[in-house]
A and B are shown apart, each in its own frame.
Chain A
Amino acid sequence: MTMKRPIRIVLPDAGPMISLALGNVLDLLLLAADDVRLVLTDVVAFEATHRSDRYADAVIIREFLRKHAQRVEVLPTTIGTLALEDLRRRALAGEQVRLSKDLGELSITNFVISLRTANPGDPMLVIIEDDWFSANSFSVPGNVHLVSTSAWLDGMQELGQIPSAAAVRAQIQAARPNCS
C-alpha cells in the first residue's frame, strides 16, 4: 500500500466559501476526511475576508478561518504577490479597496494552469464555483480533482457526509439581501 497523505481541499476562488457562508455550512469543507487540510490562495484569503467590516458573510469566513487556523494554509500566488501588497496597505490605512474585476478570475486561471506541475503524489480537491466552468476547461494531473461547488456537495452526499446536497443548496439559496 502507498502511504496515506492528507487530502487537501484547495480554494483558488472565493466563491465557494462565500456560497457556503451564506448557508452557514462552511464547516462542510472539513468533513470530506478526518485529516483534510484547507488551502486558500492568497487572493482568496484577501477577497473573502477583507470586507468583514461590511459584509456578514466575510465575518463568518474570517471567524471560520481563525477557528480552524491549524488546518488552513494560505498559498502565495504570482497574481497575489503582484497585486495584494498595495491593496493591504490601503486597507490598513482605512481606504475601501476592491480587487479589480479581472484579478480574481485571472488568479483562478493562473492557479489552475500552475497545477500542471503540481506534486503528483498529493490528493487534491480543487473547488471552484459552477459559473467558472461555463467558460473554462483545463486538463490537470490525475491527483488533482477539479470540482464545482455543487458537484462537491453531490460528492459529499455520495460519501455519506451530508444527507442531501439539494438541501444544502436550498439553504444557500434561502439567504436574502441585508440578512446575515
Chain B
Amino acid sequence: MKELIDYSMGRRPRSVTMDALGIDDYGVLLRLLNAANLPHPLIPLAKRQAMAADMAKAVRANRLKS
C-alpha cells in the first residue's frame, strides 16, 4: 500500500513502483490505484493549465491556416 500511496503522490516513479509490486503492466498499476481509491499522479494545476492552454492555442492556430 505504501508503494501505491507514494506513486499516487508523485514521490515514486512508475517503474520503481511496478517493480516493487511485482507487476509488469501499467494498466494493472492504474487499476490497483483505483481499487485503493487513490488518485492517479497529476502534475500541478498551474502547469496543467499552462499545457492545456498551449495545446489549445496550437490547435486553433493550425485550424486558421489554409
Contact = CB atoms under 8 A, between A and B. Distances in A.
Contacts of B13: 105, 131, 135
A155 B55 contact: yes
B59 interface: yes
Given A18-B26, A172-B40, A147 B59 contact: no
Nearest to A97: B24
Interface in A140-166: 145-148, 150-152, 154-155, 157-159
B32 to A, nearest CB: 6
Contact of A155 (B26, B41, B56): B56
Nearest to B56: A158
Interface string B15-44: 110110000111110111111000111110
Contacts of B42: 130, 148, 150
B58 A145 contact: yes
Interface of B: 7, 10, 13-16, 18-19, 24-28, 30-35, 39-43, 47-49, 51-56, 58-66
Chain A facing B: main interface SS: mixed
A62 interface: no
Question: Interface extent on A, as a size class?
Answer: 35 or more
List the 4 shortest-distance A-B pairs measured between CB atoms, nearest first. A151-B51, A154-B52, A155-B55, A4-B65
Contacts of A157: 52
A152 B25 contact: no
Chain B facing A: main interface SS: helix
Given A101-B19, A105-B13, A123 B48 contact: no
Given A1-B66, A130-B41, A159-B56, A150 B48 contact: yes
Contacts of A38: none
Interface string A1-24: 111110100000011001101100
Interface string A89-125: 0000000001001101100000000000000000101
24 contacts: A1-B66, A4-B65, A7-B62, A19-B40, A21-B27, A22-B27, A54-B25, A98-B24, A101-B15, A105-B15, A123-B59, A130-B40, A130-B42, A133-B43, A145-B54, A145-B55, A148-B48, A150-B42, A150-B48, A151-B47, A151-B49, A152-B51, A177-B31, A177-B32
